[in-house]
Structure 1
Amino acid sequence: MSKTLNSKISFPNLDELGVQVWNKNFAKGANIEVISTGSYVLNRALGAGGWPKGKIIEIFGTDSSGKSTLALHSVLEAQKAGQRVVYIDLENTLNPEWAKKIGVDASKLLVAYPNSGEEAMELIFKLIETKNVDLIIVDSVAALVPSAEFESNFQDQTMGLHARLMSKGLRIIQSKLIGSHTTIIFINQIREKIGNSYIPSITTTGGRALKYAASVRVEIKRCEAIKDSSNTTIGFATKGIVVKNKYGSPMAVANMALYFDSGFDVYHEVIQECLSKQVIVRKGSWFEYEGKNISQGLPHLRKLMRENKELFEGVKKKVLFI
């Protein structure tokens, strides 16, 4: 006579074992909490609508490509939502005036200046543990210098210390982020790989640990200059390439624009989307919308979008959901 095996089996309370029910409707698609990037097209490229909360993000690229500026736009969006942000300025390059131009409330932005990579990591651990910080910006990975490097002579061998610091620190961060709402954005730089003189090859600083730990990795590439009617450069186009994405499709591309007076510009983004989808039609120097000429010249059209909120919201709804 056979017996049912589960008749005498009893399971302990899963909460006591630290096992959590993640999402009962996960099979139907779970809702992901996000912090907006400040860019409509990058939010769309990420799939989830922004940076996923409680996760590790990496923004990387060449110098002066707009990495820190993009991070500041994320700070602004977090502040708009009433969230607390800590900016860890290891490079000592955060410009309060530039942050204010973007719209960041500098009086509410907490800024830290750690003296070493270890001190920065310890600070990150403590900030997560408070459960009172929504966004941490680490600027930058390259400046997370181990204390042993500061204390060593130039002739001392310190190779690998940086990568070991990142590897150990990220393991601890990942464990502390379980169940947390704190998002951490690491800003990273690109370096040329040494050892192959025939094929140009690049990598990011800090070893491989961040590549594995990050849920989202976005590469920022600086493209062509943006000029005004007098041929003066007033900004530059950029591409945000979603290299890794655990919450949407990887390798999606966001075409953005960074202006020297205001940072990344959503008006420019919407205009370019309108032009590519024929919502706004360019005829010579004029721009036509719904059969009517509305502006002459791109700078004037951008100004019109800024001033006419009804027009901007109308075209935005058309292009961002096509």
Structure 2
Amino acid sequence: MQIASDIMNALKKRMPKHSFGVPKEEETWFLTTGSRLLDLSIRDGKSPSGLPGGRLVEFYGLPSSGKTALALRVCREAQKQGGMVVWLDAERGFEPDLARLIGVDLGQEAFLYTEPYGLEHVLGAIEEIAENYHESPAPIVVVVDSVSGLNPMAYMMDDSTVKDTPPAAATAKELHRWFRRGAFWYASGSKIVLIFISHLTADPRPYGGDKTPHGSSISFYARLRLRMSATDLKDPEGGKRLGQWLTARIVKNKMGSKYAETEMPFYFHTGFSPAVENICYLLQQKVLEKTGNGRIRFGDKSYLIGQFRDLYLQDNHIRETVDQMVLDQFRSDLEGRRK
């Protein structure tokens, strides 16, 4: 249409350095979370899927809800692709044993660990990586654990300009200033994944509920926000506590639907189990059938869940078949909800 051409020419005079055209997909690369179901939930069954490169992702929740465990799982997936991890430990609470349990390589070639002193140090490190390594062919995962443990340097040095400002407000102002500068935009289109871990705190106001204590900048600029929670994972026979069911609830999602929930089994002695996660999903959806004695029917045979889990891990054909069943059922379930 002539009017469209006229408007474009007029805008080019006002914004000569801007390009105009058809909107395109903003994310071109994704890093798997290690959970097939969570990946599928993020992009509504599209492939590839996972956490978007060049974007900010937030994991938040109450203490011991699985935030750090999921972040470490993502780190492991990056390392499996030849990538590396930068872990900014504001809390000074990193657990090497937990990282090793999940399968993270803590060698210096694959894992850089530091304990930043102030918020500016963290933001400066992120900006440095975004500016200088946005063309890296291998994934780079930057984890801030946690934003709740950071304060601006001025506040920590007892600067008179912020002495009457609550620490959460000082942090919120500095984050707002940094995001407005667009410092992380350098990473757009890259294989850099930025994960902010945040804690929930109680709002003292009546009916305030829980909230993250550092303003709304992170929630506004995040491409994806996952709220984590945990419940006990018990032995069905003896009732012994074996681990936790970690639930990731999609609260904000610019790449697909919101409010989907994914349950991931985490065992205290072995870590995450994709096999059990997928098998339990298929049992819940009644794609796999349990016999009267609690065995799982697969084809013309039946197995104990432990036997079937081991087969999943050892037999490529069974693993590919189960994974395809998960994909088909997820897409079928999604299509049914849309009707």
- SS of the residue aligned with 2:328? coil
- Aligned residue number for residue 222 of structure 2: 214
Question: Number of matched residues?
Answer: 306
TM-score w.r.t. length of structure 2: 0.81
Map 1:25-174; keep pairs closer than 5 Å: 26=24, 32-47=28-43, 49-107=49-107, 108-131=110-133, 132=136, 134-152=140-158, 157-159=164-166, 160-172=169-181, 173-174=183-184
Q: Does 2:193 align with 1:183?
A: yes
8 Å Cα contact 1:279-1:315 kept in structure 2: no
User: What residue identity is the alignment partner of 2:229?
Assistant: K
- SS of the residue aligned with 1:85? strand
User: Which has the higher mean CA deviation after the structures are superposed, 222-231 or 32-41?
Assistant: 222-231
8 Å Cα contact 1:39-1:264 kept in structure 2: no
2:63 and 2:129 map into 1 onto residues whose CA distance is 28
8 Å Cα contact 1:71-1:185 kept in structure 2: yes
Cα deviation digits, residues 10-42 of structure 1 (max 9, x gap): 9989x982548786xx3xx67731011111111
User: What residue identity is the alignment partner of 1:168?
Assistant: R
Structure 1 residue 61 displacement after superposition:
0.8
Percent of pairs identical after alignment? 26
2:16 and 2:188 map into 1 onto residues whose CA distance is 16
8 Å Cα contact 1:140-1:187 kept in structure 2: yes
Distance change (3 Å), C-alpha of 1:247 and 1:151: same
2:226 and 2:318 map into 1 onto residues whose CA distance is 31
TM-score w.r.t. length of structure 1: 0.85
Distance change (3 Å), C-alpha of 1:70 and 1:185: same
Distance change (3 Å), C-alpha of 1:22 and 1:51: farther
Q: Which runs of 4+ in 1 moved over 4 A?
A: 9-13, 20-23
1:62 and 1:256 map into 2 onto residues whose CA distance is 17
What are structure 1's unaligned runs of at least 5 residues? none
- SS of the residue aligned with 2:264? strand
8 Å Cα contact 2:27-2:53 kept in structure 1: no
Structural RMSD (CA): 2.8
2:20 and 2:75 map into 1 onto residues whose CA distance is 30
